[in-house]
């Protein structure tokens, strides 16, 4: 989209958490949560109601592979820029339009055919939705790093965590509440319409004027001239890892959420084994999820006051305590109000610690490599978390719930030892002079 404003003299946006930046980032991350909630929460229910085999439903997880593999094409998202739309909008707008178009296609097909004869078509469209959404995420994260000053990256990531969760609630929980009355086609059509509404802020954002394109820190240009071979991929990530202190920091990224990844999957089985009915577990999940969103925003505000490393350590300790508290419940039992209190505490701590980790990941990104540098950290964390989560059932089976959650809390604390060592060895020097589009430090 080209507007007269784009023809005015370049005026670089000084990084600040303005109202416009808040709306822009919140809508972008909420837009990513909408298709994710549909795929993760609503579709499994609809598929099973139409008699689809549970083994096929389980394979929906494989459709999320683009989110783990996006590290393979992230460097080109940073390098290939649209002269008309800008480096980030040039990817965000086409990808978001693709997701909308595929959701409209899903909404136009009758459910009986969609979940029957056309099921392979549906699965293919869902894979393409994940491919487009994961590619958009690379550009969105790069845009967020460039727009946010270092101090406010915590609150900026509150928008990421909160916006994404809100999008998932809308297209997951809320869609399931109305789909019987409104029908599948209308419900999915509304999700597509909401996604279109979420596109308006980025459509109207004059990126070329506010965030002028910058040269890459390795001296290359944003173009396809250098080719698409594996050499670029290796060169890019080798340059990222070779920076001072990056080895220690990557260990922190890999270890920080291990305790949570091991403990969290067993919370619901624990409650079921203690006699909680599915409706009661669902209500607790909704309440604690909303608390997690509030925790994310509280963490962002506290991050601005406490600084990066202190926030990471403090919020990580709170999460370790929350996980260990479930071990106490497993051993001693607890009243419903106490379970609610511990679940809400753990989710608030999770939201706060996630915000601190994501903000510090932003601080490690190099100028003009923001999308790819953030993506490699995020993908590494997701892969390790998935592997550890897959072993959670075995841990709970052989250690018992009490031992399992105590181990989860202990692993969370040990990860903080790595974080503290990183802080002592490198201080906040890696965070102190963050590049921003105005060419100033923040």
φ, ψ of residue 436 in degrees (nearest 5): -145, 165
- Find the angle CA(129)-CA(133)-CA(134) to the nearest 5 degrees: 120
CB 141 within 8 A of CB 375: yes
Give the chain's end-to-end CA distance (angstroms, integer): 31
pLDDT at residue 94, as a whole number: 95
Residues 414, 313: Cα–Cα separation, whole Å: 11
Helix axes 184-198, 19-37, angle to 10 degrees: 150
Residues 278, 271: Cα–Cα separation, whole Å: 9
pLDDT at residue 15, as a whole number: 52
pLDDT at residue 64, as a whole number: 84
> How far, in Å, are 232, 260, 417 from residue 236 at the CA level?
6, 30, 29
Residues 175, 169: Cα–Cα separation, whole Å: 8
Q: Which two tokens stand for residue 280?
A: 């009661």
Contacts of 79 (CB under 8 A, 6+ apart): 216, 220, 221, 222, 223, 224, 226, 232
User: What's the DSSP call for residue 86?
Assistant: B
Q: Name the nearest CA neighbour of 25 among 359, 431, 373.
A: 359
Block means of pLDDT (10 residues each) for the chain, length 442 residues?
39 59 91 88 82 78 86 88 86 96 92 88 93 94 86 85 88 83 91 95 86 53 50 81 86 91 87 82 84 91 90 94 93 87 94 92 87 89 85 88 94 90 60 36 35
Q: Which two tokens stand for residue 82?
A: 């649209």
Q: Which two tokens stand for residue 28?
A: 């972008």
CB 185 within 8 A of CB 108: yes
Measured torsion, CA atoms of residues 237, 239, 242, 247, in degrees rounded to the nearest 10: -30
CB 134 within 8 A of CB 70: yes
Q: Name the nearest CA neighbour of 11 among 214, 215, 213, 210.
A: 210
CB 295 within 8 A of CB 351: yes
Q: Give strand ranges (E) for 193-320.
A: none
Residues 17, 329: Cα–Cα separation, whole Å: 41
Residues 386, 335: Cα–Cα separation, whole Å: 31
> How far, in Å, are 173, 258, 269, 344 from residue 262 at the CA level?
25, 6, 13, 18
pLDDT at residue 10, as a whole number: 37
pLDDT at residue 403, as a whole number: 94
Measured torsion, CA atoms of residues 15, 16, 18, 24, in degrees rounded to the nearest 10: 50
């Amino acid at each position: 989209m080209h507007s007269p404003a784009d023809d005015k003299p370049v005026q670089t946006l000084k990084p600040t958490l303005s109202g416009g930046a808040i709306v822009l980032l919140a809508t972008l991350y909420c837009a990513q949560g909408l298709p994710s909630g549909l795929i993760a929460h609503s579709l499994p229910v609809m598929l099973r109601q139409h008699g689809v085999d549970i083994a096929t439903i389980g394979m929906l997880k494989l459709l999320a592979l683009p989110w783990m593999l996006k590290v393979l094409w992230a460097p080109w998202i940073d390098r290939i820029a649209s002269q008309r739309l800008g480096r980030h909008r040039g990817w965000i707008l086409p990808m978001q339009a693709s997701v909308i178009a595929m959701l409209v296609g899903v909404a136009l097909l009758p459910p009986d055919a969609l979940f029957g004869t056309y099921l392979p078509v549906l699965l293919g469209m869902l894979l393409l939705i994940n491919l487009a959404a994961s590619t958009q995420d690379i550009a969105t994260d790069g845009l967020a790093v460039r727009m946010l000053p270092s101090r406010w990256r915590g609150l900026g990531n509150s928008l990421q965590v909160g916006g994404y969760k809100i999008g998932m609630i809308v297209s997951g929980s809320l869609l399931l509440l109305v789909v019987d009355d409104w029908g599948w086609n209308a419900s999915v059509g509304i999700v597509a319409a909401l996604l279109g509404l979420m596109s308006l802020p980025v459509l109207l954002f004059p990126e070329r004027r506010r965030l002028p394109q910058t040269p890459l820190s390795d001296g290359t240009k944003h173009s396809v001239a250098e080719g698409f071979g594996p050499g670029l991929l290796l060169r890019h990530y080798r340059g990222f890892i070779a920076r001072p202190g990056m080895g220690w920091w990557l260990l922190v990224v890999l270890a920080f959420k291990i305790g949570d990844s091991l403990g969290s999957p067993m919370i619901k089985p624990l409650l079921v084994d203690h006699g909680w009915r599915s409706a009661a577990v669902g209500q607790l999940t909704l309440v604690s999820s909303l608390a997690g969103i509030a925790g994310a925003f509280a963490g962002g505000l506290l991050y601005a006051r406490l600084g990066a490393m202190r926030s990471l350590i403090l919020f990580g300790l709170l999460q370790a305590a929350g996980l260990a508290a479930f071990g106490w419940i497993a051993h001693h039992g607890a009243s419903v109000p106490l379970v609610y209190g511990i679940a809400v505490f753990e989710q608030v701590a999770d939201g706060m610690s996630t915000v601190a980790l994501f903000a510090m990941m932003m601080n490690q990104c190099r100028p003009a490599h923001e999308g790819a540098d953030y993506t490699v950290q995020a993908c590494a964390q997701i892969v390790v978390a998935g592997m550890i989560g897959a072993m959670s059932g075995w841990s709970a089976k052989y250690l018992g719930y009490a031992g399992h959650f105590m181990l989860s809390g202990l692993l969370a604390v040990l990860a903080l030892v790595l974080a503290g060592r990183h802080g002592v060895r490198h201080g906040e020097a890696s965070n102190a002079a963050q590049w921003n589009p105005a060419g100033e430090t923040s």
